[in-house]
Amino acid sequence: MKPRRRHRETLFPPDAFLVTTTLFLMAVGFIFVYSAGVMKAEIYYGSTSHFLVRQALAAVIGIVTMIVLSRIPADLLERAAGPFAILTFLLLFLVLIPGVGIKISGARRWLPMPLLGRFQPSEFARLAVVIVVARYVARNGEEIGTWTGVGKMLLPPLLFFLLIVAEPDFDTAMMIPALALVILFVAGLPWRILTGIVGVLLAGAAALVAAAPYRLERIRGFLDPWSDVQGKGYHIIQGWTAMGSGGLFGKGIGQGVQKYGFLPEPHTDFIFAVIGEEIGLIGTVLVTAGFIVLAWRGYRAALEQKEPFARYAAAGVTALITGQALLNMMVVTGLAPTTGVPLPLISYGGTSIVFTCAAIGILLNFSRRRVSSGNGRFGG
């Protein structure tokens, strides 16, 4: 690695743990996108490998993005925060316009995209919000102690949140302020303000549940799925049935049956259940371990950053990937109420793959610019 002229810091090779773990998870994704989606692909698209081919195409774009982002100058990302904010706003606004945004089952979440089919602006928004908030907090760190300051910091995320809720896509939307909060937390948000915000969020959540009865049903289904096996508890029980019937070693790749109409979204949101059914506890633990490695190495990269922006962005990006993975797994295992989020790097979904890869690319970029220290190897 040639040292760059404008930076004096030493450049390390990108974190090999992050790279191999990312590739491992993507490979698992290919296998199970194919296996889980085989029937739907055959029935609706006439080819059993329909999803796999698209996933592979998105992965190629994602890996190119990852390599590019891992090699750009660090300040370029920081300087892109402003344009990102504007672009995100425009895209999120654009998608709401009838005739422009593509409406599927009542939600207008996608923009048409030549060659690749569809693009989901909310995926972009999640990455953008990390950059935007990290930059703002890095520049105005002293304001974090005041309610007004925090309010200003949370203004863009809340705007994005509302636009996404309008699609509507509440499950994705709520991750935006959550990510902003993670960055504020890392930046030293005082506990009293944090508690206050959490209190407001809980009240807001209660209001939302009261406003939309289906959310209450979801929570009821989560708390006692067996009370309504064919109704509210159906999805969660089918997920458990998939994983539980897989046992330690699973039924064998491709041998699962739960993906055939029993699991709600076998190749996207419930792909983790298919993994559990077909390769058993061995498989689910390996995948979970993969995300633990991403968390460990991602937060380690954050710890090693000198610059506040880099530290906040690294932590935010790590939280983005691992937090989403955690939420997905908790939903599938019944530890959290049903929320429609894909498992990063594994679930089918082109936009998700590309932006998760982009996030990893950013992490890799930071991992090359760490403060050399004695205990750096183990992440401090």
- Give residues in contact with another protein (CB under 8 A): 38-39, 42-43, 48, 182, 185-188, 240-248, 254, 257-258, 260-262, 276, 280-281, 284-285, 288, 291-292, 295-296, 299, 302-303, 311, 315, 319, 322-323, 326, 329-330, 333-335, 380
* 95 or 293: CB nearest another protein: 293
* 22 or 322: CB nearest another protein: 322
CB of 294 to another protein, least distance (A): 10
* 88 or 305: CB nearest another protein: 305
d(CA 346, CA 290): 11
* 62 or 323: CB nearest another protein: 323
* 188 or 196: CB nearest another protein: 188
CA-nearest of 2, 18, 5, 6 to 366 is: 18
Residues whose CB falls within 8 Å of the CB of residue 25, separated by 6 or more in sequence, listed in order: 287, 290, 291, 344, 345, 346
* 101 or 250: CB nearest another protein: 250
CB of 45 to another protein, least distance (A): 13
CB of 342 to another protein, least distance (A): 16
**At 111, is the secondary structure helix, strand, or coil?**
strand
* Strand ranges across the sheet with 107-113: 102-104, 107-113, 117-119
CB of 273 to another protein, least distance (A): 10
d(CA 152, CA 147): 9
Chain centroid to CA 25: how far? 14
CB of 280 to another protein, least distance (A): 6
CB of 173 to another protein, least distance (A): 22
CB of 101 to another protein, least distance (A): 31
270 contacts 239 by C-beta, under 8 angstroms: yes
Burial 95-116 (b: 16+ CB within 10 A, else e): beeeeebbeeeeebbbbeeeee
261 Rama sector, left if φ>0, alpha if ψ -120 to 50, beta otherwise: left
**At 104, is the secondary structure helix, strand, or coil?**
strand
CB of 118 to another protein, least distance (A): 25
175 contacts 324 by C-beta, under 8 angstroms: yes
* 15 or 167: CB nearest another protein: 15
Question: Strands, DSSP E only, in the chain?
Answer: 102-104, 107-113, 117-119
* 82 or 188: CB nearest another protein: 188
